[in-house]
Structure 1
Amino acid sequence: MKAGSKFLNAVSAFALSAGVVASGASVVVLASPMAAQAAVIQRVEVRGAQRAGQEAVRSNLTIRPGVAFSNSDIDDSVKKLYGTGYFSDVKINVSGSTLVVTVSEAMLVNQVVFNGNRKIKDDKLQTVVQTQPLGPYSEAIVKADIERLKEAYKAIGRSDVQITTQTASVGQGRINLAFVINEGDRTKIADINFVGNQAYSASRLHDVLITKESGPLSFLTRKDVYSEDKLRADEDALRQFYYSHGYPDFRVVSSNAVLNESKNEYTLTFTVEEGPRYRFGDVNVESTVQGISADDLKGLVQTRSGDTYNSKQIQKSIEAISKKVAEAGYPFARVTPRGDRNFQTSTVGVTYLVDQGERAYVERIEIRGNTRTRDYVIRREFDLSEGDAFNQQMITRAKRRLEALGYFSKVNISTQQGSSPDRVVIVVDVEDQSTGSFGIGVGYAADNGVVLEASVEEKNFLGRGQYIRVAAGGGLDNARTYSLNFTEPYFLGYRLAAGFDVFKSQTASHDYYKYTEQGFTLRVTAPITEDLATTFRYNYKEFNYSGRDSWQGNLSQPYLDLINGGTYVQSSISQTLTYNTLDSSTLPREGIYASLTHEFAGLGGDSEFYKIYGRARYFHLLSDEMDLVGSIAVSAGHVVATGDHLNVFDQFTLGGRQIRGFESDGIGPRMPNGDTLGGTTYFTASAEVNFPMPGLPEDAGLRGAVFADAGSLYGNDVPNSAGALGTDSSLRASVGAGITWASPFGALRFDYAVPVAKESYDREQRFRFSMANQF
């Protein structure tokens, strides 16, 4: 103490006798009441730093020899040393003119292992924990790691996971750390309840949600995994559904998830307030921008007076007007919808106000959260880049495009102030999700019975946004199919979807011949508008016919008269226009899907023809309450020879895919022995109503349908086909019922149809099993 007093007197500052005792997570500073002013030490002595080294300790001190310090500096130094994680105990005290720092070094982690994990692999878990090999061991960090691991398991639906740790010393201050994991059973979602819904049934609202109740196949779909993020997304999905169906006052009062720990299952409850249903009242456009006429913009408005209120139509109208105004040379113009609510008539008038917005530029686009998808895949969905004029509608459109990709489970776009008032930073937060799948498909072909197909599909190949699919299938009678499909959605940096398809199939007639088809297609698709696109293709096919008895050589009679055994080549170019306004690609309720193709063959090979064919289908929601969806479809096609004649494989065929109740290729011209000849002209029409299966939850994905089909295939330009049957335009028709199932393996359809108009030589097939809907 005398030495200390002399030191204090020498510096003539104040009487100081200070010590710091620190252990674990707490720091205790012991100081005299007079320790409020500064003192000076001449040197620093470090004790106990064997592995870290004395200089490493000194570098983390805020106290320097010859520089005045106080108790707060001592406190900061202790915290910094603890913050390194390499010390389990730190003590600092003053001995004369010397600052003595005594440390106890923490154990080092030699190895981190995971035991008992099967659902999440080691490499994934390693990225979750902060404790790493050759790093310091900290009980606090390990406890936090356990919580992080539990969150990772909750994300895959295993909320009852149990995690403990084990340590083993390996000498020299090192330990091995093991996380012992009991993954437990999958946490299910037992019930999803709705309170306050009047306009729509619970089963209808179930279909809107991302989260689904647990079922027998939930382990494949993973849609019954609960998370806070999904709950928020479900709230937004409900809002968007009601806003687009006439309920602008809708709100989610509350949503909660209750976990029954004994059963390991959640019950979700959404309490909603729907409000009244509205229609659009008067719709107008006003412009305060000089040179922009409101009358010129009215044709872009999609909201119509008298229609049911629909927020999506408002958003599309805003985007269309914004684009038009920007193209006219006003990039900063702002379009704002103003609502005029009439409670007596339950209408909402909408006026689109176009004014000169504030000048703002995009300083940068910051992308966060993408662990797999490349940055450029996200950036290319924006119609603006750094330095461009800021446009909120373009941001909204980019968000919609990113969500439509299917690469992300969450897309959130926000803005921040840039380096100056006229600079904006766009922040894109995304969360990658699995985009690969393995599928097993089942189909039915008239000649080959049940056909099985296995496929591997990746929608975001290597995080580059590319699509690739490999498939192989087979059936009875040596039927085989192989295919490879690849698409680059932004070819050469432009919004051009370029790709190729390679395929091979082998089948056989029951009586006469073996048939093999192989080839490839090169294609590129360019968007014209948001709803309209055009596709150009080069198609190359090889057809090989051989006699069934020997599987080689010429065909046996009577097909020999139509085509000789051997290989034929068809080389063509085609162009397709596609118009798509469907509200959903899996279960459309509103919109049109139409395509028109014309094809020219004659670029070498054995075929010379011009074809034109198309199909259109219109969907309309007949009843919101009953989720009753009606659709009508029409199709037609015609082919003419540009050379001497058509080959059998050049003509159209028609069957159960277009007119149910008949075999594939079961309608139209054929030879007397029954072999399909095809025709030069066809037309079809179909009407259908589909609905949820009564008594079953909509989450089951089962829907019923009733339908009526009609059409005809006629005409013939194949030589040596004298005596062919069915070359006239006799009408065929059928009625029936079906069931569709949105299964984890893809959309499956079962139809039973009865022909009500047919010819004696047509081939019936009343039961049909197929994959998906054909728009």
Structure 2
Amino acid sequence: MKKSSILIAGSLSVASLTAAVARAETVTSIVVEGAARTSAEFVRSHITIWPNVEFAGSDIDDSIRQLYALGQFKNVRITVARKELVVVVEENKLINQVVFNGNQKIKDDNLALIVKTKPTGPYDEAQIKSDIEAIKQAYAATGRTDVDVGIKTMVLSPDYVNVAFTINEGEKTKIDSINFIGNSAFSAERLSSVIGLKKSNLLSFLTRKDVFLEEKLEADKKALANFYTTHGFADFEVLSAEAHFDPSDKSYALTFTLNEGPLYSFGKVAVLSNINGLPDGELEKALRTKQGERYNADRVETSVESLTNVAASQGFPFAKVTPRATHNLADNTISLEYQIDQGEKSYIERIVIRGNTRTRDYVIRREFDVSEGDPYNRQMIEASKRRLEALGFFKSVDITATQGSAADRVVLTVDVEDSSTGSFGIGAGASSDGPVLEASVEENNFLGRGQYIKLAASGGWDDDDSRNYSLAFTEPYFLGYHLAAGFDLNYSETSYDDYDLDQAGLSLRVTAPINEQLASTFRYNLTYLDYGGDSSDLSATYQHLIDDGPWVRSSVSNTLTFNSLDSVKQPRSGIYATLTEEFAGLGGDSQYFKVTGKLRYYELLAEDADVIGSLTLGGGQIFAFGSSLNTFDQFSLGGNEIRGFAKRGIGARIADADDQTLGGSSYFYGSAEVSFPLPAVPRDAGFRGTFFADAGTLFANRVQVLGSDVVEGDNGSLRASVGVGLVWDSPFGALRVDYALPLAYEESDELERFKIGVNSAF
């Protein structure tokens, strides 16, 4: 009995204490003590308790947390006494100066941008710890993972302190080896070209592709999965991705263990719609997967997106497309049934964008086909995510959907991390006129607005060589529409043997997409040409260009562009084709109608060896609105189209005057090329060899020849060449060296067997 009584009494005491803590209280005043630099009113405004308003113990806890979160107080204590809330604070010291010691690889100015501890701000130990981690992460991005960061303080007065971050940068790590286990369909060399991490080499200090980070390893796992599933291996998985660090030489050994699975082709492909009113014909046209073709996960995803768009266009915005795959191991096929159902009706309540410190919100929002109040459709959101990733503005893009204020309301949260989008390039090349220096500044996300701008200049090493200056600007969403509008400005000064040519140009353009692969570009072009020199040393035809100049050409043009390439940087399959029509005669000195076209086709000839074949065809015809054309209006043909010949080296010209070319009103050419990795050279170095064969011609001169001038090289004979090339995907851009042997040419042609310059595929 006695023991039971004690237990009951104890229980009552605990219950009474709990009730007292939970019981609501009120105070008549709030007293702040210890606030010297901050006002009492400032402290009161950052707590959750008010006079004569009931509060609980949890409100005291919340108030203490909020005051600590300000970073201005070292200690905070809140008590209740005689209907008064007493808030006692101990202020942090103020920072007089922030310095960095021991850093060489990252400069003070860059570190100052990384840390949030600033002069005149409070000394906050929690923020100091966060800044130390931020500095370590910045060094990890440069390949220094064993950096040590400490903190030293110097008290200047009771209120002020100096802060010094002491940094031991350590040694740079490297990647010594990259190994693959379980791969049989593709060699280690081919898989190494797929992933972003690379073995350390002599150029790693420029590319930094040998900097190991865990997030890069995760990205490479996804890259391998994407590569395999788009090449027929639907069951592929990365069993493990390990990074072994050897502290003795500060190096990593990467090992990817793979399970390739069988190679699949598409089996039967069908669409099953459970929504009445969807036209079967439109659904079949939307499919990007065909029976008998090699399995490709990207085409499955594209088919889902296309079917979703068809359903939305037919008045079913909530349609849900689910691809159902059936594996047949007997013949290694995957049959697909795209099932279309009416999804749950839900609407987008809000789109919240976070993490974009540089890119403006509207640049992100305009990549969405939906906005607040529109029906929520998962496939459309996934398509928007892919478009955001394709911009190249962000390191990462993540979109999550959570329930909003009601069951049928969805809040989309878009988390992004801005990446560097600008570049500065400088290099050297060569043209038919001699060595050339080039420099350019390029920004793909100008001022965070998603705009493109490029400023470039080039010139020869000698005073007599050409000078070229250009400025390009593009607004990808002109007036809020999906129209890419922009302009191109260029100015050049070129010195030839017998004359000079100053040329200035302006081009205004608007590009409208027709579908995913086809676009139309309208341009207005204005060109000013001024020929100079001693006309007595020139032919009568070229004397006319100097004496009757300067000249103005005003034209409008439209270009249709078809692009199905799998990659712009290094295409391995697909077609890039253009067809341009130009009309000149809107004022100025030129009157003609011109048609030009170019097509380039790529195909991977050997998957594992990464041998790429390409075929190029081009041609053009110009029609004069009169009996003749100006010299500067006709086509020119040379080493850019048929290697082994100089710039403007083919076609009609004034006899015994190499630089006084006339060109022609018709041309065509073709080229075949095979590109392959150099043997015995690591593929990570970015070197590829080429074999090529070119052929073509330029003919039908329509320039009125004056005086006693004699024309040569206008017989329209076929020119041809074969050769070898070396392409280097350098940190400064793709550089190319070609050596061509002309097989068919005219005596009047100007040959140029060796050429070095920037590689341009299109």
Q: What displacement does 1:133 show?
A: 4.4
1:429 aligns with 2:415: yes
- Report what 1:506 is aligned to: 493
Within 5 Å, give how 1:6-25 maps onto structure 2. none
Q: Choose which of 464, 470, 488 in structure 1 pairs with 2:475.
A: 488
1:623 aligns with 2:609: no
Asked if the contact 2:530–2:546 (Cα under 8 Å) also holds between the matched residues in 1, the reply is no
Q: What displacement does 1:588 show?
A: 0.2
Distance (whole Å) between structure 1 residues aligned to residue 470 and residue 405 of structure 2: 52
Distance (whole Å) between structure 2 residues aligned to residue 69 and residue 362 of structure 1: 37
Distance (whole Å) between structure 2 residues aligned to residue 574 and residue 454 of structure 1: 29
Q: Secondary structure at the match of 1:305?
A: coil
- Report what 1:451 is aligned to: 436
- Report what 1:27 is aligned to: none
Quickly say closer, same or farther: Cα 1:457–1:95, change in 2 above 3 A: closer
Within 5 Å, give how 1:29-108 maps onto structure 2. 38=20, 88=74, 105-108=91-94
Q: What displacement does 1:431 show?
A: 1.1
Distance (whole Å) between structure 2 residues aligned to residue 685 and residue 697 of structure 1: 32
Asked if the contact 1:37–1:70 (Cα under 8 Å) also holds between the matched residues in 2, the reply is no
Q: Aligned AA for 1:266?
A: Y
1:466 aligns with 2:451: yes
Distance (whole Å) between structure 1 residues aligned to residue 518 and residue 412 of structure 2: 29
Distance (whole Å) between structure 2 residues aligned to residue 527 and residue 80 of structure 1: 51
Q: Aligned AA for 2:718?
A: L
- Report what 1:556 is aligned to: 538
Q: Choose which of 736, 743, 750 in structure 2 pairs with 1:756.
A: 743
Cα offsets for 1:91-148 (capped at 9, x unmatched): 7899999998876554343443334545556565455445444554344542343123
Asked if the contact 1:461–1:468 (Cα under 8 Å) also holds between the matched residues in 2, the reply is yes
- Report what 2:682 is aligned to: 697
Cα offsets for 1:522-553 (capped at 9, x unmatched): 11111111110000111111122222xx5xx6
Q: Secondary structure at the match of 2:653?
A: coil
1:221 aligns with 2:204: no
Q: What displacement does 1:294 show?
A: 2.5
Q: Aligned AA for 1:716?
A: N
Q: What displacement does 1:493 show?
A: 0.7
- Report what 1:603 is aligned to: 586
Distance (whole Å) between structure 2 residues aligned to residue 67 and residue 699 of structure 1: 69
Quickly say closer, same or farther: Cα 1:450–1:37, change in 2 above 3 A: same
- Report what 1:195 is aligned to: 181
Q: Choose which of 629, 643, 651 in structure 2 pairs with 1:660.
A: 643
Quickly say closer, same or farther: Cα 1:142–1:307, change in 2 above 3 A: same
1:572 aligns with 2:555: yes
Asked if the contact 1:469–1:485 (Cα under 8 Å) also holds between the matched residues in 2, the reply is yes
Distance (whole Å) between structure 1 residues aligned to residue 517 and residue 299 of structure 2: 14
Quickly say closer, same or farther: Cα 1:106–1:559, change in 2 above 3 A: same
Q: Secondary structure at the match of 1:677?
A: strand
- Report what 1:316 is aligned to: 302
Distance (whole Å) between structure 1 residues aligned to residue 317 and residue 87 of structure 2: 64
Distance (whole Å) between structure 2 residues aligned to residue 754 and residue 217 of structure 1: 32
1:685 aligns with 2:667: no
Q: Aligned AA for 1:216?
A: L
Within 5 Å, give how 1:704-719 maps onto structure 2. 704-719=689-704
Quickly say closer, same or farther: Cα 1:478–1:62, change in 2 above 3 A: closer
Distance (whole Å) between structure 2 residues aligned to residue 315 and residue 719 of structure 1: 58
Q: Secondary structure at the match of 2:95?
A: strand
Q: Aligned AA for 1:602?
A: G
Quickly say closer, same or farther: Cα 1:627–1:541, change in 2 above 3 A: same
1:345 aligns with 2:331: yes
Q: What displacement does 1:232 show?
A: 1.9
Q: Aligned AA for 2:240?
A: S
Quickly say closer, same or farther: Cα 1:295–1:562, change in 2 above 3 A: same
Distance (whole Å) between structure 2 residues aligned to residue 70 and residue 716 of structure 1: 95
Q: Secondary structure at the match of 2:123?
A: coil
Q: Aligned AA for 1:245?
A: H
Q: CA RMSD in A?
A: 3.2
Cα offsets for 1:664-722 (capped at 9, x unmatched): 11112222113321011111111111111111222111111111111111111111166
Distance (whole Å) between structure 1 residues aligned to residue 528 and residue 423 of structure 2: 31
Q: What displacement does 1:466 show?
A: 0.8
Q: What displacement does 1:221 show?
A: 2.7
Q: Aligned AA for 1:623?
A: A
- Report what 1:723 is aligned to: 710
Distance (whole Å) between structure 2 residues aligned to residue 121 and residue 428 of structure 1: 33
- Report what 1:742 is aligned to: 729
Q: Secondary structure at the match of 2:196?
A: coil
Q: What displacement does 1:418 show?
A: 2.1
Distance (whole Å) between structure 1 residues aligned to residue 440 and residue 557 of structure 2: 27
Q: Secondary structure at the match of 1:670?
A: strand
1:207 aligns with 2:200: no
Q: Secondary structure at the match of 1:289?
A: coil
Distance (whole Å) between structure 2 residues aligned to residue 133 and residue 94 of structure 1: 36
Q: What displacement does 1:391 show?
A: 2.3
Q: Secondary structure at the match of 1:171?
A: coil
Asked if the contact 2:434–2:465 (Cα under 8 Å) also holds between the matched residues in 1, the reply is no
Quickly say closer, same or farther: Cα 1:183–1:296, change in 2 above 3 A: same
Q: What displacement does 1:58 show?
A: 8.0
Distance (whole Å) between structure 1 residues aligned to residue 53 and residue 316 of structure 2: 62
Distance (whole Å) between structure 1 residues aligned to residue 550 and residue 177 of structure 2: 60
Asked if the contact 1:655–1:662 (Cα under 8 Å) also holds between the matched residues in 2, the reply is yes
Quickly say closer, same or farther: Cα 1:638–1:152, change in 2 above 3 A: same
- Report what 2:217 is aligned to: 231
1:161 aligns with 2:167: no
Q: Aligned AA for 1:505?
A: S
Q: What displacement does 1:613 show?
A: 0.6
Distance (whole Å) between structure 2 residues aligned to residue 537 and residue 96 of structure 1: 81
Distance (whole Å) between structure 2 residues aligned to residue 711 and residue 72 of structure 1: 84
- Report what 1:733 is aligned to: 720
Q: What displacement does 1:230 show?
A: 2.2
1:330 aligns with 2:334: no
1:649 aligns with 2:632: yes
Asked if the contact 1:546–1:555 (Cα under 8 Å) also holds between the matched residues in 2, the reply is no
Q: Aligned AA for 2:257?
A: T
Within 5 Å, give how 1:359-378 maps onto structure 2. 359-378=345-364
Q: What displacement does 1:217 show?
A: 2.8
- Report what 1:24 is aligned to: none
Asked if the contact 1:500–1:521 (Cα under 8 Å) also holds between the matched residues in 2, the reply is yes
1:523 aligns with 2:505: no
Q: What displacement does 1:316 show?
A: 1.8
Q: What displacement does 1:250 show?
A: 0.7
Q: Aligned AA for 2:486?
A: G
Structure 1 gap segments, 5+ residues each: 1-13, 16-30
Using structure 2 for the length normalisation, give the TM-score: 0.90
Distance (whole Å) between structure 2 residues aligned to residue 503 and residue 92 of structure 1: 70
Q: What displacement does 1:554 show?
A: 6.3
Cα offsets for 1:420-463 (capped at 9, x unmatched): 222222222211111111112433222x2112111111111100
Deviates more, 1:126-135 or 1:712-721: 126-135
Asked if the contact 2:431–2:755 (Cα under 8 Å) also holds between the matched residues in 1, the reply is no
Aligned length: 741
Distance (whole Å) between structure 2 residues aligned to residue 773 and residue 437 of structure 1: 18
- Report what 1:21 is aligned to: none
- Report what 2:386 is aligned to: 400
Q: What displacement does 1:87 show?
A: 5.2
Using structure 1 for the length normalisation, give the TM-score: 0.88
Asked if the contact 2:541–2:705 (Cα under 8 Å) also holds between the matched residues in 1, the reply is no
Cα offsets for 1:359-393 (capped at 9, x unmatched): 22222222111110001111111111111122223
Structure 2 gap segments, 5+ residues each: 1-8
Q: Aligned AA for 1:478?
A: D
Q: Choose which of 764, 767, 770 in structure 1 pairs with 2:754.
A: 767
